[in-house]
Structure 1
Amino acid sequence: MRIIFMGTPEFAVASLDALLNAGEEVVAVITAPDKPAGRGQKLQQSAVKVYAAARGIPILQPEKLRDPQFLNDLKSFEADLQVVVAFRMLPEVVWSMPPLGTVNLHASLLPHYRGAAPINHAVINGETESGVSTFLLQHEIDTGNILFSQKVTIGPDDTAGDLHDQLMTVGAGLLVKTVKALAAGKITPIPQERLAGDAVLKHAPKIFKEDGKIDWHRPVDEVHNLIRGLSPYPTAYTELDGHPLKIFRSVKERTSVSHPIGTYYTDGMTFLKFACPDGYIDVRDVQLAGKKRMDIRAFLRGYRPRSVTIFT
């Protein structure tokens, strides 16, 4: 089949690479426009663009997906199928164009965790499993009929970054399976409503910076899950002696608490622990504002926090 691939970040590159390695014909790639980034505000290409350019695949970078010139260019490729991995919301005039429609790879076990941040929310909610799903796009976002899905296990200390890397690989394989099944006509789409049954659906809305602020009055399990669910980005954070502190990894200790909730204590060399109502968060990987990310021992060698600080 003639396939048009749509995607932007590194997560999507794995799927594009898998399709090409499987012998599929990707006739064009649609990705985000180059954007200024960094202190110098130099134009930065998306990971998908860099990969596609290296392989000589035609690239389109529309500012607006309803632009008549873009739609004409898209139609000229005469694709049988479009594949979307970590791209933006498509208008119907785009997703309905190919004869076989448009397939989306989503990083959750749909219908649960529809939305922009399924990986983060699965970890924040303490799920023990997640997965990937392929489905056909329709009007409402992330609601199309399911083609295939595959589960993965989430470890008790896995971060969103760990789960991202796992789903990136599993998802690439599932997408190849989906494309080959569509080409062979050996697939029966399943309405998400049938899979949902009477279950209360869990959602995955976009995460904002303020969502990462740690409330030390929450149970130690919830705080630990927030830290790992926002690591490495956008990162959970607190304050240390009045300075913003990002926390990337932690270990939870369920135990009786001998320090006021919302305080920390340390030996100044090997550990830094924050008190919650039912235990401590032992932080292991941190970054102070204006400094590099480092493990806690390296951090304490260069910083001398007070023995106890009360947070309001």
Structure 2
Amino acid sequence: MKKEDLRIIFMGTPEFAVGTLEALIKGGYNVVAVVTQPDKPVGRHQDTLQPSQVKVFAMEHGIPVLQPVKMKDPEFVEELRSYNADIQVVVAFRMLPEVVWGMPRFGTFNVHAALLPQYRGAAPINWAVINGEVETGVTTFFLDHDIDTGRVIEQRKFPIPDDADVEYVYDGLMNLGAEIALSTLDKVIECDGKVESMPQDDSAATKHAPKIFKETCEITWAKNAKNVYDFIRGLSPYPGSWTTLVPKEGKPLTMKVFKTAKTNIPSVGMNPGEITVKEGRLLVACADNMLEILELQISGKKRMLVRDFLNGFKNIDNYTCR
């Protein structure tokens, strides 16, 4: 079989998925249709519909786009079946019912941004950085009934530098994900769909990657500085970690923190969250050491460097991070 003969349905929504879709198109693979989320209402009055980035890319390249509200909808299932796909490739999409993932003769495989069975779930990149991992990677696996539990086809590793934030790891894994998707498809073509795969060891699934909500992103200053440092870079630049600046008098402010630096300054005698300004440095007490804030954003303001913040916010010593 040639790659031009392998009929592929691609499923995905965000920018992360576009990297793989683009690689498929440039590589000459036969993507017969794309499935993505329905257009999202945006704007003050929710009266403007915004297409997903995968839809935008697909339409620019003349690929048919399907946008089901419900994956089990009979009309969608029949339309999907009409494309007679040999295989489906899923990147950053929702959970699929068996009637969908079991449809192609060669099955459906997912590109997951982690080294499974670790970090099953919706936010594997964030949680790997939050937990201070020095390495992550991407995995291709065949979908089955449960989330991220299917038989593994390929894995590739990716180092996480100590100063890397989620954006750096996201970009790296997006490119690596595209590479492993093409490699997996080449295996499918070479063996006419009879790809070797290995079951996951469920007992090794000790770290998880649940969906991240606003409350998940609140900083806990009572942890060690290294833990807080990893937490902040694990959410930077999006969705962004945050804390509440509480004044001795007046109204509290919400502050997002995007970048910090570890210090060797002990926080002995200080309460977690207590703020000190020293020689132009904004320091916050953690359980063991002080953490230096480098980039932040006050609610209603733009993201800024600390030096710019301190120039316009003279009484920061009167606040505490809570």
- The answer, yes or no, to whether TM exceeds 0.5 is yes
Q: Equivalent residues in 2 for 1:67-216 (5 A)? A: 67-185=73-191, 187-193=195-201, 199=204, 201-216=206-221
Q: Distance in 1 between matches of 2:272 and 2:64?
A: 57
Deviation per residue, 1:163-182 (Å, 9 max, x gap)? 11110011111100001111
Q: Distance in 2 between matches of 1:199 and 1:144?
A: 14
Q: Equivalent residues in 2 for 1:1-312 (5 A)? A: 1-41=6-46, 42-185=48-191, 187-193=195-201, 199=204, 201-240=206-245, 241=247, 242-257=252-267, 259-267=270-278, 270-311=280-321
Q: Distance in 2 between matches of 1:200 and 1:30?
A: 29
Q: Distance in 1 between matches of 2:317 and 2:199?
A: 57
Distance 1:260 1:304, change over 3 A: same
**Deviation of the 1:236 alpha carbon:** 1.1
Moved more, 22-31 or 184-193: 184-193
**Deviation of the 1:218 alpha carbon:** 0.8
Q: Distance in 2 between matches of 1:200 and 1:192?
A: 9
Could you say what secondary structure the match of 2:310 adopts?
helix
Could you say what secondary structure the match of 1:307 adopts?
helix
Q: Which runs of 4+ in 1 moved over 3 A?
A: none
Deviation per residue, 1:253-298 (Å, 9 max, x gap)? 133225433211125x832110112111111111110111122122
Q: Distance in 1 between matches of 2:23 and 2:290?
A: 43
Question: Which one-letter code corresponds to 1:260 in the other structure?
Answer: N
Unaligned runs of 5+ in 2: 1-5
The aligned residue for residue 3 of structure 2 is: none
The 8 Å contact of residues 65 and 91 in structure 1, kept in 2 or not, is answered as yes
Q: Distance in 2 between matches of 1:157 and 1:44?
A: 34
**Deviation of the 1:310 alpha carbon:** 3.6
The 8 Å contact of residues 118 and 204 in structure 2, kept in 1 or not, is answered as no
Q: Distance in 2 between matches of 1:251 and 1:40?
A: 40
Q: Distance in 2 between matches of 1:310 and 1:80?
A: 59
Could you say what secondary structure the match of 2:317 adopts?
coil
TM-score normalised by structure 2 residue count: 0.92
Moved more, 85-94 or 228-237: 228-237
Moved more, 7-16 or 289-298: 289-298
Distance 1:305 1:167, change over 3 A: farther
Deviation per residue, 1:190-222 (Å, 9 max, x gap)? 1112xx6x6452111111211111121111011
Q: Distance in 1 between matches of 2:108 and 2:205?
A: 27
For the aligned residue pairs, the C-alpha RMSD in angstroms reads: 1.6
Distance 1:48 1:302, change over 3 A: same
> What percent of counterpart residues are identical?
49
Unaligned runs of 5+ in 1: none
Q: Distance in 1 between matches of 2:272 and 2:17?
A: 42
Q: Distance in 2 between matches of 1:152 and 1:311?
A: 34
Question: Which one-letter code corresponds to 2:264 in the other structure?
Answer: R
